[in-house]
Structure 1
Amino acid sequence: MLGVRAPDGGGVSLATRALVRADWSAVEAIYREGIATGHATFEAAPPTWEEFDAGKHPALRLVATLDGDVVGWAAGAPVSSRAVYRGVVEHSVYVAESAQGRGVGGLLLAALIVAADDDEVWTLQSGIFPENTASLRLHEQHGFRVVGRRERIGLMTYGPLAGRWRDTILVERRAPG
């Protein structure tokens, strides 16, 4: 578990830990906040717990807690079932609106990198909307590089951008070695 001490020097107020089923209602609510922005995902609604659980890498599912409350999550999913890509994972990081700007995203991404390295994941990648400049900065600060721009990669199906083709910026981090 990674943590940051409270400003008064007391106990850890911001920490990460494994995401478990009991966290799902908070994780789903944070996911819905991200979806509502129109700049977090192409998904129109969060998956069910069962879909999320089946699709995510077991060692790469984390939550951030602030004074015990879940305020963010990160997770990774294999990009392919082919053995040659076993160490390549697509990841997401979501932070509750109420906790943005407090270091939650950085703590989650740092913890995800450690978990990925420990699990012999050699590439973490993500497709980020160009409008999501906070996420692009966060990833750059944690050693990710821009691989390229995927133009008109997906068609939005919901919200104010419904019917528009969207670009994503592909970022990746390679494990040392």
Structure 2
Amino acid sequence: MAFRITELTAEHAEQVLAVYQSGIDEGNATFETCAPSWAAFDAGRLPGHRLVALDEDGTVLGWAAVAAVSARSVYAGVVEHSVYVHPRARGRGVGSALLAELVRSTEAAGIWTVQSGIFPENTASLALHERAGFRVVGVRSRVGRHHGVWRDVVLVERRSPVVE
């Protein structure tokens, strides 16, 4: 499957939110229970680090984006990321390509740490992140309830070898 990575814009909103909702519906991607409105999605992610993978006809195969972890200036180089791949596009390198481009864009902007929290049951995401150079920092046990069940979250991070 041929695809290209490009900037995620409002033109992709409907498809991006549908891919997000697919991940939510599977139950092991996030504590969220429904995709936000485009306005909320847009307001919560940093510009310059929003990516989509598009197939040849412009269909969104996946997306990646980052959010600031804190408003404090000392954490300006630390972001939390999300990466979601449409179920029909999995296993084709879409997630790897999105993460690689996300690392390039964040490093170019002086961001030194990209982190995320992943449910331990999401073994595909954990493997993807390991291949992309992320390391497990630890596990936050019973950090939140999801559909009435306490869930753990594996904290992963990638420290830039380029940005100091």
Shift of 1:23: 0.1
Shift of 1:82: 0.5
Question: Which stretches in structure 1 are left out of the alignment for 5+ residues?
Answer: 1-5, 7-12, 157-161
TM-score (norm: length of structure 1): 0.89
The sequence identity of aligned pairs, in percent, is 55
CA distance in 1, matches of 2:79, 2:32: 18
CA distance in 2, matches of 1:20, 1:56: 12
Shift of 1:103: 0.7
Which contiguous aligned blocks of 4+ residues in structure 1 show a shift greater than 3 angstroms?
A: none
Q: Could you say what the CA RMSD is over the residues aligned between the two structures, in angstroms?
A: 0.9
CA distance in 1, matches of 2:12, 2:4: 14
TM-score (norm: length of structure 2): 0.96
| SS of the residue 2:152 aligns to | strand
CA distance in 2, matches of 1:120, 1:155: 34
Within 5 Å, give how 1:1-177 maps onto structure 2. Answer: 13-67=2-56, 68-156=58-146, 162-177=147-162
| SS of the residue 2:28 aligns to | coil
Question: Which stretches in structure 2 are left out of the alignment for 5+ residues?
Answer: none
Bigger Cα Rg: 1
CA distance in 2, matches of 1:176, 1:154: 32
| SS of the residue 1:148 aligns to | strand
